[in-house]
Each structure stands twice: as structure tokens, then as C-alpha cells.
């Protein structure tokens, strides 16, 4: 009879490699989820800084969600065409470039434009990351792994406004975007260092 901590194949349910991969996916994914809600608390501040109407500033969260949604259907095609690892790393790099551009924006138009770039990168991070993790974990470890990454990702929308409020109060609304850079850089470095997340030989084309 198998132990409680091992699947039928005799491998432990949660290996160090799987846990590290899950951490990379969470680091990448939680930023994209936080950025959907974290910006809302800074709308009045950005409106004053850019001397823009609230209707214009409202596009900052809206355009990000639209950009994210627009690329999600293409994530499967991109993964098959270019490889999951390459798509994930590229998406994260695009998201980070958009985050830095948002933080350095000098006008509402620039901020909205960089939010589009941020959303185009962020939209693929979670679906591709989850697909990589599911492939690496296999069906016998799927439920356990997805439950591990599910908790922090579910908390993202809840804690986003809290984190955003703290950053705006302590520093500036620009730090809402600056904070993505070191977190994303860590995820990117871990992914590149491990030649992954979840690299499979058949992914490279």
C-alpha cells in the first residue's frame, strides 16, 4: 500500500522542484492579480498629479483588465507555437517593462498606454504558468499543487487595496508599480536559473 505522501508511482507528492516551481508561478501571478485592484485607491492622487478628470483616470484599471482579457485566448496557441517556458518568461518581462513605464509616466495618456503593455504581458502569465505547473506536477499531484497556489492568488484581490493604500500613504502612487519590479525580477531570475518554470523537453521548438 502507498503512503499518504506518495502517489502510485512512488514519488513524493510535493518535491522541492514542484514547490519551487509553484513559488515562481505564484510570484508571477500574484502581481498581475494585485495590479487589477491595487491601483484603485490612488485614483484621486493620480487625477491631481496629472490634472485629469476621473473619467480619464478610470481607464487606468479598466484598460489593464481589457488588455489582460484580450490575450488570454491566445495563450494556448502561443504556448504551442513558441514553448511554454519562452512565453511565460517573455510575458513576465513585458509585464515588468509595463510596470516600470507606468511608474515613470509623466501624463495620464502615458500611464494608460503603459497599462496596456502591462496587461498584454500580465494576461498570459497565469494561464501559461498554471499549464506549466500542471504538466510538471502530473495528474496525481495536481489537486495538492493547485490548492497551494490557489490561496495566495485568491487573497490577491483582497489585499491589493490595503497594499495600495499603504504605498500611497507612505510614499507615492508610483510605488504601486515600482514594487512589481523587484518581485518580478526575482521570479524571472528563478525561472531563468532553473531553465524553467517546468521546462519539458517537448516544449522547445
* This prediction's pTM: 0.83
Give the model's pLDDT for residue 197.
Answer: 43
Which CATH fold topology does 16-195 show? Answer: Growth Hormone; Chain: A; (1.20.1250)
Extract the C-alpha cell encoding 17: 522542484
pLDDT band per the 50, 70, 90 thresholds, residue 83? very high
Element (H, E) at 112: helix 108-137
Domain boundaries, the chain: 16-195
Average of pLDDT values for 131-145?
81
pLDDT digits (tens, 9 = 90+) for 90-107: 999 999 999 999 999 999
pLDDT digits (tens, 9 = 90+) for 14-63: 777 888 888 888 888 888 888 888 888 888 888 888 888 888 989 999 99
Q: H helices within the chain, ranges in order?
A: 16-37, 43-50, 54-57, 59-71, 75-82, 84-103, 108-137, 142-170, 175-178, 180-193
Amino acid at each position: 500500500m502507498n503512503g499518504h505522501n506518495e502517489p502510485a508511482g512512488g514519488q513524493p507528492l510535493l518535491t522541492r522542484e514542484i514547490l519551487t516551481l509553484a513559488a515562481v508561478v505564484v510570484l508571477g501571478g500574484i502581481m498581475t492579480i494585485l495590479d487589477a485592484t491595487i491601483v484603485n485607491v490612488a485614483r484621486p492622487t493620480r487625477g491631481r498629479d496629472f490634472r485629469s478628470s476621473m473619467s480619464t483616470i478610470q481607464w487606468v484599471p479598466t484598460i489593464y483588465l481589457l488588455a489582460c482579457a484580450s490575450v488570454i485566448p491566445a495563450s494556448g496557441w502561443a504556448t504551442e507555437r513558441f514553448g511554454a517556458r519562452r512565453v511565460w518568461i517573455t510575458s513576465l518581462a513585458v509585464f515588468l517593462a509595463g510596470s516600470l513605464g507606468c511608474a515613470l509616466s509623466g501624463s495620464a495618456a502615458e500611464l494608460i498606454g503603459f497599462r496596456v503593455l502591462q496587461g498584454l504581458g500580465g494576461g498570459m502569465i497565469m494561464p501559461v504558468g498554471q499549464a506549466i505547473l500542471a504538466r510538471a506536477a502530473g495528474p496525481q499531484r495536481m489537486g495538492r499543487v493547485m490548492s497551494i497556489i490557489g490561496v495566495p492568488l485568491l487573497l490577491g484581490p483582497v489585499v491589493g487595496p490595503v497594499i495600495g493604500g499603504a504605498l500611497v500613504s507612505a510614499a507615492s502612487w508610483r510605488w504601486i508599480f515600482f514594487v512589481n519590479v523587484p518581485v518580478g525580477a526575482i521570479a524571472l531570475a528563478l525561472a531563468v536559473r532553473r531553465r524553467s518554470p517546468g521546462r519539458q523537453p517537448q516544449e522547445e521548438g
